[in-house]
Amino acid sequence: MIKQIFKKKIKARFRKSKKDLKQNVKNFFAWVKGAELIELKACETSKDPIRPELDNDFRTSYGRKIYGVKYNDEIYAVMCFAFTNKIPKNVKELDLMSKDAFLQSANRDQKIGKIAIAYTVWSTKKGGGKLIVKQVFKMIKKSNHLNRLVTLSPLTEMARNFHLRNGAEEIQINDETQNFEYKIIK
């Protein structure tokens, strides 16, 4: 008799867990389908786990951009870019190369750099990081002047695993950072 009561309790818990899991999956896909990629004028730099020391002036000057994944008037993921013509190995090179590309474009066609360098990405909701990478990838594919999406990632196993899991290829390991490239086929 005790065994039967125990089995019934286990089955009831399993059904409730299964129902909760289905609801969580449904909620996850609802926000993912309704999310949109937008350009931001600023972000909360203190929430950036990778480069909180870089202020919004750095993130938006010399053609640099901040993008966010927005759903229901809330930002769930952020990615910051610099546009360059070469691959930087650290933030100082990123700064110099993006300024150079910006100044070169002022004398040419206003198209800043050929390489989009993602130097920070974070999310506040599960799946946000992967979603913003996919959304930005689509945007860059549609671009007329960008032909590469490369990261300037910290030397962590977490960053490495994230990019490899999302389809990037490791292209170099530097003293302070590592670079991954998402192949763009137009």
User: DSSP code of 154?
Assistant: E
Encoding tokens for residue 114? Answer: 């050929």
Per-residue pLDDT of the chain (186 residues; tens, 9 = 90+): 566 665 666 665 656 555 555 555 445 445 556 788 999 999 999 999 999 999 999 999 998 999 999 988 889 999 999 999 999 999 999 999 999 999 887 766 666 778 999 999 999 888 888 888 888 888 888 887 788 899 999 999 999 998 999 889 999 999 999 999 988 765
User: Residue 78 is inside which H or E element, if any?
Assistant: strand 74-84
Say whether 93 sits in a helix, a strand or coil: helix
Indicate the pTM of the whole model: 0.78
Of 47, 148, 140, the C-alpha closest to 88 is 148
Q: Which residues of 107-130 are buried (b: 16+ CB within 10 A; e: fewer)?
A: eeeeebbebbbbbbbbbebebbbb
CA 130 to chain centre: 7
Say whether 135 sits in a helix, a strand or coil: helix
